[in-house]
Chains A and B, each alone.
Chain A
Amino acid sequence: MNTNHIITGAEAILLALLKEKTDTVFGYPGGAIMPIYDKLFNRRHQLKHILVRHEQGAAHAAQAYAQVTGKTGVCFATSGPGATNLITGITNANLDSIPVVFITAQVASAFLGTDAFQETDMISLSMPVTKWNFQVTSADEIPDAIAKAFYFANTGRPGPVLLDITKDAQIGQTTFNYKRIKSIRSYNPHPALNDADTKKALSMISASKKPILFAGHGVLLAKATRQLEAFINKTGMPVAVTLLGKSAIDEDSPYYTGMLGMHGNYGPNVLTNEADLIIAAGMRFDDRVTGNLEKYATKAQIIHVDIDKAELNKNVKAHLPICADIKDFLEKMTPMISYKTDEAWLQKFHELNHIEKEKVIDRECSPHEGKIRAGEIVQLLSEKTRGNAIIVTDVGQNQMMGARYYHYKIPNSLITSGGLGTMGFGLPAAMGAQVGQPNRTVVLLSGDGGFQMTMQELGTIFQYNLPVKMIILNNNFLGMVRQWQQLFNDKRYAETQMPTPDFPMLAKAFGIESKLVEERTQLDTAINNMLHHQGPYLLEIKIEKEANVFPMIYPGKAVDEIVLEDAVL
């Protein structure tokens, strides 16, 4: 790449992306962004562009792409409606801390503020949901703006950033001299871990009898899964994960005790209030994890390690808040620590989880009669893929079933919408994950409701022949809301019942192989056929209509008040 020669702003954008080692962009063209797409035409061999069917799909796909590749996702949209369609996807990436650079086009700078055609104040609109954003109004600003965008997106606590680039900045001429950012004075992405903190942590651990480590998404984001494994294997400490912390530890580990939170496992939820020490590693004590805060971790000293200082003491008061990269913390602690956790304490988790297995899991995953249940599908899938697939879920019961009953072994193998709970996330995210990992099996677990929110992306899957395996768990209900209506609204199923289209026929319209399964006896073969199929495949499975996800911490209840089944049912 020859630098210092005169090029247009649009060309500079693409060169800058190449400098940041971007090779894939998800997007959709339109009026204001035409200069960029015009330059992209000649660079389409260097920069692969995935043409989605709706900008929201591009945003979710770029996020999933980032999660499965460890790179920064990139997304293009035009001004006005193109840009506003991104908002849900940007917000989703923001709440789940995923690095994505969103580039939106804007009307020419002379028209800013005039209500020009397809003008939207994207800077103000995206401000609360981006880590950083910036409006570029001249071609000369482009290299530095893109360098900052990547630097902010993928350092510290990662997150989405947005560059709004006016049409005249795309057309204008500039000399291209790209310099990647090393540091910025107002921003400290790598807070130093100090000795006093690790010393204090060591003494708190050695004073504890019943410690537990909570692994959150931060462990995956920090690429610290090996460090976590080393720490756990040395100390024998029980580990529980958050929803987004799933796959941060191999579930085959004897120290893995399950998932925390509303639909998490019995052992770690109950024993959160038994533990005398909690090491919260890269997690943020979300309300879906903690339940009633007044009755949370009642006996525990808390060591909270997070790279984002604002998370410390935000929801739960920590006895030792440590603002640091979790990788640094674990790397420093492991060689120094000689603590061994009492086997009997670890055993308690397994005993409680055994109760859950008998009362909940066996019924869900090995039923012998009645309609097919979501749990048995996920477990079958888990066995057949040996835990090696990338699971992408939508939001709701399908998501909880996917999280609970797939056996995760490989880091970043669950892609799900955690913080925002975005229905419609699944299909476009599965598409992005498959683009990022073309050789791995990517399986979407979606409900019939969420699938219908973004099902136009079947068009994208068809166009690029992405071999995504799509499972629709069809109960003709918005299942999770229906579950709440059953439990708390006396079965008044307000607007949660939904007839569905003939999904296999819909797939067929896009040239996608498909199958409908209604009987348990067909299930095994159907999943085999799906997994062995070379291209994309849609498998609709009719499941029990009024099944519930249990265990459950009811709203307002404490973690140890988690119920295995509803007494009324």
Chain B
Amino acid sequence: MKETYTIIAFSENHIGLLNRITIIFTRRHINIESLTVSSTEMKGIHRFTIVVVESEEQIIKVAKQIEKLTEVLFADWYLNDQIVYREIALYKIPIESAIQKNLEQVLREFNAHVVDVQKDFVIIENTGHIDDTEKLYEILEPYGIMQFVRSGMISVSKNRKELSAYLKELPINEYVKE
């Protein structure tokens, strides 16, 4: 059965690694729903958060292929109830419709913020699950959305080992003494 899985992988910050990871999906004809890459609390280590809809069996195989890459520290996979996840969405709305329609109630309901106001438009920021992003989009659609963008998922796992603990188990970079 296919479900939404989030693969979280930690890697060295090296050129080309993003490509090496994405071709693992391409080769298996798996579509990536969302992908974010960012630096972590550890200097030189990057974090990949990849959301795909797949069977567990396939996800395990893919995660192992990612972890097999010589510059990946480790990769793990999670179902939605094993992580806390969020995405940020930005909505650019014409100023007239923002004034005319009752925007205050919408913002309050979603706990969304106005992050910028200009003479022609306002920009609203919302953080939440995919559903929240899409629900707010539907509500704002009649306002006339000028631009819309979402960040892709970032996630924090609930009950797994932390990066610092993993790092302690891994070998250190060392040269042969001659």
Contact = CB atoms under 8 A, between A and B. Distances in A.
Interface residues of A, number: 25
**By CB atoms of chain B within 10 A, which of A184, A186, A313, A314 has the most?**
A186
Interface stretch (B31-39, B59-67, B118-126): B59-67
B71 interface: yes
A184 B64 CA distance: 18
A336 interface: no
Shortest 7 CB-CB contacts between residues of A and residues of B: A179-B175, A310-B64, A183-B171, A180-B176, A182-B174, A185-B170, A187-B70
B175 A181 contact: yes
A399 to B, nearest CB: 26
Nearest to A180: B176
Interface residues of B, number: 28
A132 B15 CA distance: 12
A144 to B, nearest CB: 9
Contact of A185 (B65, B67, B68, B172): B172
Contact of A308 (B27, B61, B68): B68
Interface string B5-23: 0000001100110011001
B178 interface: yes
7 contacts: A147-B175, A152-B70, A180-B175, A182-B176, A184-B171, A188-B171, A309-B67
B171 A185 contact: yes
Contacts of A180: 175-176, 178
Interface in A149-199: 152, 179-188
A180 B23 CA distance: 30
B53 interface: no
Interface of A: 123-124, 127-128, 131-133, 135, 147, 152, 179-188, 308-310, 313-314
B73 interface: yes
Nearest to A309: B64
A186 B175 contact: no
Nearest to A315: B61
B108 to A, nearest CB: 47
Nearest to A308: B68
A186 B170 contact: yes
Interface in B147-172: 167, 170-172
Given A124-B16, A184-B171, 13 more contacts: A123-B16, A127-B23, A179-B178, A182-B176, A183-B174, A186-B73, A186-B170, A187-B71, A187-B171, A308-B68, A309-B64, A313-B60, A313-B61
Nearest to B177: A182
B71 A132 contact: yes
A313 B60 CA distance: 10
Nearest to A133: B16
Contacts of B71: 132, 186-187
A179 B67 CA distance: 26
B61 A314 contact: yes
A147 B70 CA distance: 14
Given A127-B16, A135-B15, A180-B176, A185 B73 contact: yes
